Amino acid sequence: MAKTAGSDENYPGLIRPSNTRGDMGARGGKLTESIGQNRRALSTINRNVIGPPPYPRVVHKRGVLAEHNATAANIPPIPVHRPITRKFAAQMASKQDQPLIQEKKPVVNSVPKASASEDCVIIDVEDYKSNGDYPVPMSVQHTEAMLEEIDRMDAEFEMEDIAVEQVVDIDSVDKNNPLAVVEYIDDLYAYYKRTEISSCVPSNYMAQQFDINERMRGILIDWLIEVHYKFELMDETLYLTVNLIDRFLTTVSVVRKKLQLVGVTAMLLACKYEEVSVPVVEDLILISDRAYSRNDVLEMESLMINTLQFNLSVPTAYVFMRRFLKAAESNKKLELLSFFIVELCLLEYEMLRFPPSLLAAAAIFTAQCSVNGFKKWTKTCERHTNYTEDQLLECSKLMVTFHQKAGTGKLTGVHRKYSTSKYGYAAKSQPALFLLDATFQQD
């Protein structure tokens, strides 16, 4: 038995079964004495490396596996309690100066904590890298590369979160302004949006008129825009005037020689509703080249106000323009160009099929495209107008064509008005022709 036990010393990886009961009899005592003498003789080779094992026939399996895995990964092995042989002592003596790098492994419940702390030595990786004598193991390099990639992806995600467009609170600057009615403004425009249908007229109402047509309507409105500009009336007055004319013509058939009287009377009513200082009837008669008398104007006023059932409180495109321009964070140039485009639409009979809120939103979108040279419709604009970019494209493309031919033809009142310094020469801006390209055409 002594000879067999001695031969096992040349095989450090051999794990022999342990005898915990029944085998430590008379033979066990002799075996213990023989192996113990061999261990004491070999332990004198290097007493500073490791001490003798507590039990002569017990081998720490975890230590052997850890040594094997560390050697395979080119990582210095972890010192463990195992039998000392000449070969193992020589290996320990040659590697005792090398630094140890070991990741802390979870302690298994079956292994005491004291053994886990003795088997694992933690060395900081940065300290190991600062020592140029030994290369960084590949496992450490891969781990650091993965961590750097994770940090880079996190940074990209953070930038994407920052880049996500947020809806701007456009009323925050007016919280202390009682005239801005910030507490009620959203409710007011929700009400305007619900009731704007009452201000709309059928897009084919001219079919019931026997003596006038849509071209005559355009001539009348072009003339009224010049009258409005000459009298220096408020913008609201012009939009309400056009609305009153269309609503009246929807119900009453008018001969062409009375059409101008309808326009003058509608402007008179709009001035009484919107203006502080209202033009007198004589001024309107004079501006119409005395084609009508005072009684003609007053009779038409009575007929019109009764036909409309005294309902002059309707949301026009101007009402929505003020709110939507604020949502677009517009400057003076964008504001004037937007009003130029929407006033061009007042002349066009075919634009009656669009509600006032859509006309206002499309005019601002078209003006933004003209100023910026590309399509721009923010989340804030979409939130306050309730229209997406796709919903505006059809109307916007028609506006581009009106802008393109505004200075030609016979109806040039709007173009001449916005070609002055007072209106920032908005009519001279280049139309957003790229909206008419095939790329933006819809079936």
pLDDT at 34 over 50: no
CATH fold label, 200-308: Cyclin A; domain 1 (1.10.472)
- Predicted confidence (pLDDT) per residue in 158-186, tens digit: 655 455 668 888 888 888 899 889 999 99
Q: Which two tokens stand for residue 408?
A: 């030609």
pTM: 0.64
- Poorest-confidence range of 22-31, 330-339, 411-420? 22-31
Q: And the tokens for 244?
A: 């009153």
Task: Indicate if 317-436 has the same CATH topology as 200-308.
Answer: yes
Mean pLDDT of 379-398: 94
Segment 250-272 shows an average pLDDT of: 96
Token readout for 85 is 């042989």
- The helix (run of H) or strand (run of E) holding residue 94 is helix 86-95
**60 vs 88, which has greater pLDDT?**
88
State mean pLDDT over 273-302: 94
Banded pLDDT at 290 (limits 50, 70, 90): very high
Q: For the ranges 171-175, 242-246, 262-266, 359-363, which has the lowest average pLDDT?
A: 171-175
Nearest Cα neighbor of 287 from 231, 242, 237, 238 is 231
Q: Does domain 317-436 have CATH number 3.10.180.10?
A: no
- Of 7-11, 153-157, 272-276, the least confident: 7-11
Contact 242, 414 (CB under 8 A): no
> Is the pLDDT reported for residue 441 higher than 80?
no
For 402-440, the pLDDT digits (tens) are 999 998 888 999 999 999 999 999 999 999 999 988 544
Among 109-113, 240-244, 329-333, 384-388, the least confident range = 109-113
| Confidence check: pLDDT of 102 > 80 | no
* 163 exposure class (CB count in 10 Å sphere: 0-12, 13-18, 19+): exposed
Domain ranges of the chain: 200-308, 317-436
- Answer yes or no: are the C-beta atoms of 256 and 278 closer than 8 Å: no
Instruction: Give 87's pLDDT tier (boundaries 50, 70, 90).
Output: low
Q: What's the pLDDT score for residue 1?
A: 45
Rounded to whole angstroms, how far apart are CA atoms 267 and 433?
A: 35
- pLDDT for residue 61 is more than 50: no
